[in-house]
Structure 1
Amino acid sequence: MSREQSQRFAIACLAAGVVVLVDQATKAAALGGMSQTERIPLLGDLLGLQLAFNPGAILSLGADFTGLLTLLGVGAVVVLVVAAAWARTETWAVGIGLILGGAIGNVIDRLFSPPGFGVGH
Structure 2
Amino acid sequence: MAEAERIIGTPDVDDDEAAVPAERPKGKRRIIALFAVAVVAYLLDLGSKLLVVAKLEYHEPVKVLGNALELRVIRNAGAAFGLGAAYTVIFTIIAAVVIAVIARLARRLYSLPWAIALGLLLGGALGNLTDRVFRSPGIFEGAVVDFIAPAHFAVFNLADSAITCGGILVVLLSFRGLDPDGTVHRN
Instruction: Give every structure 1 segment of 4 or more consecutive aligned residues whose post-TM-superposition deviation is greater than 4 Å.
Output: none
2: distance between equivalents of 1:80 and 1:12? 9
How far apart are residue 85 of structure 1 and its match? 2.8
TM-score, normalised with respect to structure 1: 0.90
Task: Look up the match of 2:111.
Answer: 89
Give aligned-pair identity as a percent.
Answer: 31
How far apart are residue 37 of structure 1 and its match? 4.7
Task: Look up the match of 1:21.
Answer: 43
Please tell me whether the aligned partners of residues 5 and 86 of structure 1 are also in contact (alpha carbons under 8 angstroms): no
Distance change (3 Å), C-alpha of 1:36 and 1:52: farther
Report the AA paired with residue 94 of structure 1.
I
* 3-state SS of paired residue (2:75): coil
1: distance between equivalents of 2:120 and 2:128? 13
- Between Structure 1 and Structure 2, which shows a larger proportion of strand residues? 2
Distance change (3 Å), C-alpha of 1:63 and 1:5: farther
Structure 2 unaligned blocks of 5 or more = 1-23, 144-187
- Between Structure 1 and Structure 2, which shows a larger proportion of helix residues? 1
Structure 1 unaligned blocks of 5 or more = none
Report the AA paired with residue 101 of structure 1.
G
Larger radius of gyration: 2
How far apart are residue 86 of structure 1 and its match? 2.3
Q: What's the C-alpha RMSD, in Å, of the aligned pairs?
A: 1.8
- What are the superposed Cα offsets for residues 79-110 of structure 1, whole Å, 9 maximum, x if unpaired? 11223332222121112111110011111111
* Equivalent pairs, count: 120
TM-score, normalised with respect to structure 2: 0.60
Report the AA paired with residue 105 of structure 1.
G
- What are the superposed Cα offsets for residues 32-52 of structure 1, whole Å, 9 maximum, x if unpaired? 000245111111112111111
